[in-house]
Structure 1
Amino acid sequence: LLAAAPLAGRRPRLLPLSPPPSTPSIQIQNRLYSMSLLPLRKARGMGRCEASLASNYTQTSEFADLDWENLGFGLVQTDYMYTAKCGPDGNFDKGGMVPFGPIEMNPASGVLNYGQGLFEGLKAYRKTDGSILLFRPMENAMRMQTGAERMCMPAPPVEQFVNAVKQTVLANKRWV
């Protein structure tokens, strides 16, 4: 089910994330491509987004053991997370997937001392054919850049943000 309503008569844009289930369910697609139709005014990393996954992730079952009918809003621990570090120059390293768990953080971090942080929620949908769609990831990336600019924080390039989302969703696809 698509929970988003079109705005001003426009249809929501969903980007395909995975192929139909003709590939084994545990295998993760190695190359992903997407293109947003919206202009990227101030966004860095414009254009084609490509994610490459070097390895497969081990999953215990095709779908997570959840009460999908009564799933509310809140933290649901998944199998993997994407981490990237930002250097003093404001640039982010390549980043990558790691098992879900604690993260290392400097005690002087702005998020700990001043509450200086950003959150972007993004929806992923599984279609009846088994493929997965992301709801407007480029727009989420641009919103994160705008928020970071307002908070005087560095932001990852649009392409890196979208690739990180794709990798995270694919690694955790049993939760979609």
Structure 2
Amino acid sequence: MHLTVEAARPEHAAEVSRLLRDYLTLTEQEKTDRGLAPGGPLPQRYQNEVEHPETLLPDCLLACADDRVLGLVVLKEQGDQVEIKRLWVDPAARGTGAGRALVRAAVDRAGARPVTLTVWDWRAAPIGLYRSLGFTDTQSWDERPHLLCLTLPADAGQSSR
């Protein structure tokens, strides 16, 4: 399998929507199971992402192999830093290196800027990935319980390769 990471294009909108729906649905279910969300349909702000993926395409990178989209990372550029807002690899594609490739591509896109993210503390596999690439815990900018805030300093990007 030849894995590539590329910028999302308009023709990827349906795949981006599918991946976001799967990611957000699982996240909301996990939060509900832990008493952190009421359950039911996706909150409107998340449903908007699923229904209008074209708004995220400029900030979205896709991991692809064999003409299949395996996963995505959605970034939010905030001046002097870049935040990873969403990282999701289709469960059938886990273990292919897609997640690692997406994070590395996000770090490359950030250039000399630090990369930040939040991750639920029960998500051991993504936390392990982030830490293996040099991300460290940082002071929380989000007060929701069970949410870890991680940062990769600007000068650490090259050492994460």
Relative to the length of structure 1, the TM-score reads: 0.24
Higher Cα radius of gyration: 1
Relative to the length of structure 2, the TM-score reads: 0.25
Which is richer in strand? 2
Greater RCO, CA 8 A, separation 6+: 1
